[in-house]
Amino acid sequence: MTANPSAELLDSLLTIAGRPTAVREEVRVWSMSGVERLTFPDATTAIFKYAKRPFDSEDQALRLAHALGVPVPQVRASAVLDGWLGMLMEDLDPAVRDADDLDGTAAAVVLHGTRTAPALPVLDQARLRKLPGRALEHFARLRKADRWHEADDVEDALDRIAQAAETRSAGTTVAPFGWVHSEFHPTSLHISRHGWRLLDFARAFTGPGLLDLASWHGTLDTPDPVRLRVFLEQYVTAGGTPDALTPRGGLSAQNWALGWHRMWAVEWFMEQSIRWINDPDTDPAYIEAVRRHLTDVLHLLEV
């Protein structure tokens, strides 16, 4: 597989779009994706975004969202090469300010009120309650690869969560259930003089919208159920379904949302560690993040 075929992808996209060669300027680049601004000879600009599996279907999600009326950047052309997706997208006007909580609730109401799209992966109750089991499967593969040997506590925590998962996952399909952005943070909401656009749909799926609301304030700080409760109430005030406040799985809506969002993140981190990144040098950082989130999950889900 080509290490990073961004140059070939860009050539293909420019050919598809009928555009000349452009000057490339990096905006944000990491090992699995990159965003660049292109400047053409006539001084017009566009965004070139590329990403490898499992982020290689964002063009489909963005086109679906656009077709269903969600404000997102328009995809002008897209192509896949050696497991890498490339997209040529409109360049949005400069941001006039950072998104705040009221912006977040307004965007969430629009997204969660959008008709579901059959093409999106589904995270229903059966799949949600399997997350700790999937994480244990990743753990077994890591051990088989002679890694994560100092992480018995991770396995123990996942076992406890797996035993409680059927009970605690109850209420998964209580509204809002539909579009989930899954990377729903202030940095994913672009606000310009022309309004807002929601970015970064690489991992969008159909599932419980509370996971989006739980992700808004990030995962670096200790989860704050009181802060999330206020955010949920703002969401309802902005037009979101009152069911967002409904207890589920024997827990308050905010604890359920924060607990399962952290469990969703744990499974994703562990899959990255063994499958997508698969670099033993990154193990200490992944183990630390997984341990921190699992501590939160045990507390929030009252396991």
Work out the angle between the directed axes of helices 225-237 and 101-112 (0-180°, nearest 10): 60
Q: Give phi and psi for 2, each to the nearest 5.
A: -60, 135
| 139-168 residue pLDDT tens | 999 999 999 999 999 999 999 999 999 999
Domains annotated on the chain, with CATH: 6-89 (3.30.200.20), 101-300 (3.90.1200.10)
How much is the average pLDDT of 15-36? 92
C-alpha torsion sign, points 268, 271, 273, 278: negative
- The C-alpha angle 237, 172, 289, rounded to 5 degrees, equals 95
Single out the residue of 9, 68, 37 nearest to residue 198, CA to CA. Answer: 68
| 247-301 residue pLDDT tens | 999 999 999 999 999 999 999 999 999 998 999 999 999 999 999 999 999 999 9
pLDDT for 78:
97
Q: With bands split at pLDDT 50, 70 and 90, how would you rate the model's confidence at 30?
A: confident
The residues, any chain, with a CB within 8 Å of residue 213's CB and separated by 6 or more, are 108, 184, 228, 231, 232, 235, 244, 257
Single out the residue of 104, 85, 111 nearest to residue 10, CA to CA. Answer: 85
| 4-21 residue pLDDT tens | 788 999 999 999 999 999
pLDDT for 235:
98
Tokens of 292: 């921190």
Question: What is the overall mean pLDDT for the chain?
Answer: 96
| 56-81 residue pLDDT tens | 999 999 999 999 999 999 999 999 99
pLDDT for 32:
86
Single out the residue of 207, 208, 299, 212 nearest to residue 255, CA to CA. Answer: 299
Q: With bands split at pLDDT 50, 70 and 90, how would you rate the model's confidence at 3?
A: low
Is the pLDDT assigned to residue 2 strictly greater than 80? no
pLDDT for 1:
41
